[in-house]
Amino acid sequence: MTGKIIRIAIDGPGGAGKSTVAKAVARRLDIDYIDTGAMYRAIAYKFLSEGLTPDSMGESDFKSSMNKILAGSKVDYSQGITTLDGKDVSRDIRTSEISAAASAFSAIPEVREKLVRLQRDMACRRSLVMDGRDIGTNVIKDAEIKIFLTASPEERARRRYEELISKGQKVQYASILSEMKKRDHNDSSRSINPLVKAEDAILIDSSNMDVDQVVDLICSEIEKQG
């Protein structure tokens, strides 16, 4: 890499292969990778651990408990490790329960405000690959390269199913597909910073591509920009 700063924003729905591709691009370019979804997952994990759910209390109690918990929470992502209040939660946040909770809690303005601020600080004056739902449209609007990576819901569910099975989790394809469609709907229809393709993002449908092909395509786009 030359001294030029390059920030690569990769957005797309769950299971499109964003984190695998983003990690590989970062490795090739020898720059950092930030998984913003892991940060939303860490907050969801904290809320659930503290017994915070919208159904467990009235709206104003929920808001005040949530703000207290948010103010006292320290989330970080560095070198592939997600930490919450100084503790490594990288494995704890990879469950179906946390996937659904992260999608629901990420629609709350105060949660987004806190995490977007942290993510912008992380992306300040340095080269990196950052993936999520609103990186190219909101977190780094002036990213040098924007990618919108997607795949059909069936293909994404198949990949997630195989990933969880390989980790020894007992899951069913049909329920993963239906959870994925629900999450797609939540993430794309929320009022603040929904999942949408930035106008200037390059669209890649990875349904019939393997990881290396996607990484090659992104790297060739980066080279084109010089």
Under the rule (CB under 6 A), what is the footprint of ligand DC? 14, 36-37, 40-41, 99, 102-103, 106, 132-135, 183, 187
Question: Shortest gap between Cβ of 99 and ligand DC (angstroms)?
Answer: 6
Q: Which of 21, 197, 214, 35 is nearest to 131 (CA)?
A: 35
Strand partners, 83: 76, 88
Does residue 23 contact residue 149 with C-beta atoms inside 8 Å? no
Closest CA to 15 of 180, 145, 128: 180
**65 or 186: CB nearest ligand DC:** 186
In the complex, what is the shortest distance from the CB of residue 224 to ligand DC, in angstroms, rounded to a whole number?
26
CB of 117 to ligand DC, least distance (A): 13
Residue among 93 and 215 whose Cβ is closer to ligand DC: 93
Q: Which is nearer to ligand DC, 116 or 215 (CB)?
A: 116
Q: By C-alpha distance, which of 107, 103, 142 is closest to 123?
A: 142
Q: Are 37 and 158 in contact (CB under 8 A)?
A: no
In the complex, least distance from residue 221 CB atom to ligand DC, rounded to whole angstroms? 21
